[in-house]
Structure 1
Amino acid sequence: MRVYGMQPINQSEILEGGVAMRIQPAKRIDIVRVKFVKEFSILYRNRRISALSDAYELAKEFMEV
């Protein structure tokens, strides 16, 4: 008869689904806030944005800085 020895599990290991896994330390993440602020207004001759291409044409001028 064969005798199997058990290896002790360190305190930094946990059992998950029958497999010992190491606990990873928490990772710090950055929290970012984006805020829209009205700075000015312009006149838009079409008066209504009904398609994505209309919005693109309007915003394209502001993106080309």
Structure 2
Amino acid sequence: MRKGREEALRAARSDNIEQLNPLREVPFGNERTGFVVQPLNSGDIRQLCNELRRLLDDPVSVGIQLD
């Protein structure tokens, strides 16, 4: 029983890791592009915080844009 629970926890952790690492589009050459998993860096987090701050400052315009 314990072994099955450990495997389930390990699988859940790997699912969480996949959610934390977004896909990035990268060129592969010959006019082809593909996607790779790349961890978030501090610059990405700062950019997200700035975008969220702007959205929270003016929620009415965000609602209008969504409609």
**Where on the TM-score scale, by shorter chain, does this alignment land: which range?**
under 0.3
Larger radius of gyration: 1
**TM-score, normalised relative to structure 1:** 0.22
Question: Which has the bigger relative contact order, CA under 8 A and spacing at least 6?
Answer: 2
Q: Which has the higher helix share?
A: 2
**TM-score, normalised relative to structure 2:** 0.21
Q: Which has the higher strand share?
A: 2
